[in-house]
Structure 1
């Protein structure tokens, strides 16, 4: 820690910025100078004399350029701020300083935010920050915002630059005073959730204000306000990302909740004339859920001061917690309640869609046995598709495993597992390859190509979008037949009745008698839904497809959804991280995006179609 801000210290900091480098230096009394890269703005906070206010100072750490100092150090701080502001104003044509400060919390009429700005100049910039702060909602109510003159910031003892210097170098000074509702005024104790929520929203309001200023006043033209965020990611982020990934990789959730005795259980069920629920056996648990949870909550996510990455990590921790809880409840009634938390339930609207499909699609005629593709031939086709992806991304290290303990097809950790008894109709082979390889394996390795490992491990709730994309890929290549749509709809109906307390045998008989599924199909649907104690995941296929079609109808693009295993509302997060150069462009595209013959179908999606148009 340095004792004082010397001339030499200032010269070194400015020289680093002029060379395009990051500046990250300690200041006296625990202060901090952090500038991610040359930028046309700086956010400033000065601890009140004799009363350090660390909760308010934390608000600055979400920004890409800031100084945290002390009022006692204003004389030393002045030449540092002046040198940085003048140097960057010369580089960009103008510069902006925003000083953050806490208001007196005891005054009853204090607004949540007060803006100190120029009375006549740059009304648009002041208007932008006022509007952005008004859009912040706390407990459902809009934030109160008032404006005053910034003259107090331009006079002693506050003043860091004279008005003459500000005009000469085209530098704007704004003050942002916030009421410290994020801490208890009597004890000083912080309300962490409120502070975190407010910090993220204030940081975005600042970025949007700076974006408005620099777009008009400077030579710096960022493509989006998020491009003004931090690009450098500190070591603690990569460490936490790695720790979460390590815990996630210690168990294969879907394999652990899938029966290993499916064939024997089916024979047992048939022998009992479908009147007695089968007994399922599962793989031995490779982890102690309680010990893994302890490790999970020992990860210091609170040390991540980047709001976006902090949110992403906390979200993943909550999901892993729920998964471990589910595994500890496997084969008990509590498994179902945890599943409903993790994968959701069936809404009335989704149930109507599912029942509508089952009513609209005639039951299949079973006159002739379908042409079943031999497992080795299907494996060869899948390997061929994996090779096609590998041509685009040589680091793709995937393959196909044929296993006796797998039912049908399942992708786990970027590899395709095929059951030895898998019965795949030949006309469905290409569709299933696009589903498993062209979606699940592709997004796994697109995520793996990113520096942030959460994109291949999977963001919480990613299954809905993944399965929606996978089913849509089946339609794009012409393999989404009516039997498949009936199956997806039946899964929704079975999940709905499962959550209403329906037994295994009742669900089986409903599918068999009311919806006219053959014995084996009714078994497969019921087994999937009731495995582990009740798994509601199978409702996500149709739900994901419905939501995806609606998303594309709104004019959004399909391609960005394939960057990794993300959920739909993560798109703004991913886009922000791309703007900030934290994430890279995705290296692999599926065959259906590259095939000119499928362009009309992709255009049709943009025009807006429903699931019934896919039949």
Structure 2
């Protein structure tokens, strides 16, 4: 419903702000007032008379407090802004208005940004805005920033209020003129990718500027510039989050690309004296990839104004698209290409680390008569660890399933699947429980405790950090032995040669002859790497561990990484959403973070050690 800017409308807006409520109302001609909560700033955009500019208006929508209106709505708009400013200055002691404008007749000399502000007052806020704008880098675009007087905003028929009124009430009026490079100069149509990128970067620059202003000039003390972003989340966000999760829940990717006839394939390969690649069989496909892709791209992510959440959902959509492509290409030569896009390959540095580990431990260290833990006993220990998680958070709905169609250990949908033929060394049992339960199941339910489903479904590329954390947990509980490190290195070497065109039998021969793995272990490793047509995922274990050790060496903490199934470069995004109160604190901690005996090891990691120190 559209509201006229009447006296009663203005009183309702003021009343809502006085009571600490959100304001979200439509204005005439498609205008909008959105104030997430009482905040000491407002971003304004006015469509020029007869020339609506929706592309530039979109920049305002990325902020937590804005009005989009039309020039012809003066003086009603004047009174609305005056009422908002008066109420907010009363609550916070000062108020800032930032008006966005598109440069009227841009030419080659027009700067990308022109900051309009008082010539003498508040130079710190203006210099912050200039500095932040200068740091915006977009490939192929020169970021020029100039400053000018804001007199144009304070004079003439379109002025909001006279300069004397601004001074009297401690209001700051700034303007930011944008060169509309984000639109085609002939057709006026926006370039969507450039507009999206510039919008995201400008949103952060505005928040940092407001952060400087509010902490110096007002009583509002924000703990971080991201805390000035939106806290309320639009219903469309939850709907899209649910739609993406719904598609993700329709298939179990790892189970669908893992053979169901592993034992039979091993016997077939052994009888052929390892000269012919075995035939693998897979579960029947429960989905139609083409139909799911149609559903996936019918999800209107472009309707989300919040740049951070829109990025999360676009990223997830791209990942699901690649996964569906892989499932459609399962057991064909095309499978590996999507795998490399999704999980990456092996670069020279990672290969060097893997080969270094195999050179440092040229032979297996484990005795042939190593004691194995019976599968039922291991399952019982895993159930005990799940109970430990449940004691911290009642929402943990997990368990252990012993299955004859699973090889080894796989966590899927928050449950641990254990193969009936799983060979688990007794001395490795606790390490594997921390790997599977203390990392994979824990992060699944930590993610499920959050309002955003993406945190338990998994952000794109989350496997690297997940497996890095899981392997590190093995080290912290004293179960990361040299044979395990040899195994992780062997997986990297096998993935590398897979991507170079190496076949199943050659990769198997390399592991047995050059690196002295026993035949069954070499078969299992080769099967994992060649399954589905070539799955490069197994390189993420060692790569994730290397990157995680570097992360800890920089002084970062482990706990924030356990908020869900995220990748490492999502940490700033997660932190932003925590500052904005969109995400909640982590409810479950792993046993190793609560054990005082493990603290010296954690301190050692922060001091900086390499993968080779773990040997």
Q: What TM-score, normalized by structure 1, do the two folds share?
A: 0.99
Distance 1:253 1:603 in 2: 37
Deviation at 1:143, TM superposition (A): 1.0
Distance 2:571 2:367 in 1: 46
Distance 1:470 1:257 in 2: 22
Distance 2:500 2:556 in 1: 36
Say if 2:550 and 2:608, in contact at 8 Å, map to a contact too: yes
Aligned position for 1:424? 424
Deviation at 1:367, TM superposition (A): 4.7
Aligned position for 1:149? 149
Aligned position for 1:441? 441
Aligned position for 1:128? 128
Say if 2:2 and 2:25, in contact at 8 Å, map to a contact too: no
Work out whether 1:25 is the aligned partner of 2:21: no
Distance 2:580 2:327 in 1: 37
Aligned position for 2:198? 198
Please give the secondary structure, in 2, of the residue aligned with 1:398: coil
* Match runs of 1:72-87 below 5 Å: 72-87=72-87
Deviation at 1:141, TM superposition (A): 5.0
Aligned position for 1:91? 91
Deviation at 1:106, TM superposition (A): 3.8
Please give the secondary structure, in 2, of the residue aligned with 1:373: coil
Distance 1:128 1:26 in 2: 32
Work out whether 1:53 is the aligned partner of 2:74: no
When the two chains are superposed, the root-mean-square deviation of aligned CA atoms in Å is 0.9
Distance 1:93 1:21 in 2: 19
Say if 1:430 and 1:479, in contact at 8 Å, map to a contact too: yes
Q: Deviations over 1:118-160 (max 9, x none)?
A: 1011111000000100111121555110000011111122211
Distance 1:389 1:203 in 2: 39
Greater mean deviation of Cα atoms: 129-138 or 365-374: 365-374
Deviation at 1:350, TM superposition (A): 0.2
Deviation at 1:362, TM superposition (A): 3.8
Q: Deviations over 1:296-355 (max 9, x none)?
A: 000000001100000000000000000000000000010011101110000000000000
Distance 1:14 1:75 in 2: 17
Distance 1:27 1:367 in 2: 77
Q: Deviations over 1:199-242 (max 9, x none)?
A: 11111110000000000000001000000000110110000000
Say if 2:113 and 2:177, in contact at 8 Å, map to a contact too: yes
Please give the secondary structure, in 1, of the residue aligned with 2:589: coil
Aligned position for 2:572? 572
Deviation at 1:44, TM superposition (A): 0.2
Say if 1:105 and 1:180, in contact at 8 Å, map to a contact too: no
Say if 2:242 and 2:453, in contact at 8 Å, map to a contact too: yes
Aligned position for 1:311? 311
Q: Deviations over 1:254-296 (max 9, x none)?
A: 0000000000000000000000000000000000000000000
Work out whether 1:596 is the aligned partner of 2:566: no
| Compared CA separation, residues 366 and 575, structure 1 to 2 (3 A) | closer
Work out whether 1:514 is the aligned partner of 2:514: yes
| Compared CA separation, residues 160 and 505, structure 1 to 2 (3 A) | same
Say if 1:407 and 1:418, in contact at 8 Å, map to a contact too: yes
Deviation at 1:108, TM superposition (A): 2.3
Aligned position for 2:299? 299
Distance 1:236 1:467 in 2: 33
Distance 1:356 1:105 in 2: 61
Distance 1:309 1:106 in 2: 32
Say if 1:372 and 1:423, in contact at 8 Å, map to a contact too: yes
Distance 1:559 1:170 in 2: 43
Deviation at 1:430, TM superposition (A): 0.1
Distance 1:139 1:334 in 2: 32
Deviation at 1:368, TM superposition (A): 4.0
Q: What TM-score, normalized by structure 2, do the two folds share?
A: 0.99
| Compared CA separation, residues 366 and 541, structure 1 to 2 (3 A) | closer
| Compared CA separation, residues 146 and 522, structure 1 to 2 (3 A) | same
Deviation at 1:366, TM superposition (A): 5.8
Aligned position for 1:531? 531
Distance 2:409 2:319 in 1: 24
Aligned position for 1:118? 118
Deviation at 1:188, TM superposition (A): 1.2
Please give the secondary structure, in 2, of the residue aligned with 1:24: strand
Distance 2:403 2:275 in 1: 30
| Compared CA separation, residues 407 and 125, structure 1 to 2 (3 A) | same
Say if 2:431 and 2:477, in contact at 8 Å, map to a contact too: yes
Please give the secondary structure, in 1, of the residue aligned with 2:216: helix
Q: Deviations over 1:547-570 (max 9, x none)?
A: 000011011111000000000000
Aligned position for 2:62? 62
* Match runs of 1:482-561 below 5 Å: 482-561=482-561
Aligned position for 2:349? 349
Please give the secondary structure, in 2, of the residue aligned with 1:137: coil
| Compared CA separation, residues 442 and 366, structure 1 to 2 (3 A) | closer
Say if 1:43 and 1:98, in contact at 8 Å, map to a contact too: yes
Deviation at 1:600, TM superposition (A): 0.2
Work out whether 1:184 is the aligned partner of 2:184: yes
Aligned position for 1:382? 382
Greater mean deviation of Cα atoms: 123-132 or 367-376: 367-376
Distance 2:4 2:215 in 1: 36
The number of residue pairs the alignment matches comes to 615
Greater mean deviation of Cα atoms: 138-147 or 203-212: 138-147
Distance 1:184 1:141 in 2: 15
Unaligned runs of 5+ in 2: none
Work out whether 1:360 is the aligned partner of 2:322: no
Say if 1:134 and 1:142, in contact at 8 Å, map to a contact too: no
* Match runs of 1:331-342 below 5 Å: 331-342=331-342
Greater mean deviation of Cα atoms: 159-168 or 416-425: 159-168
Please give the secondary structure, in 1, of the residue aligned with 2:74: helix
| Compared CA separation, residues 161 and 259, structure 1 to 2 (3 A) | same
Distance 1:111 1:384 in 2: 64
Distance 1:507 1:105 in 2: 64
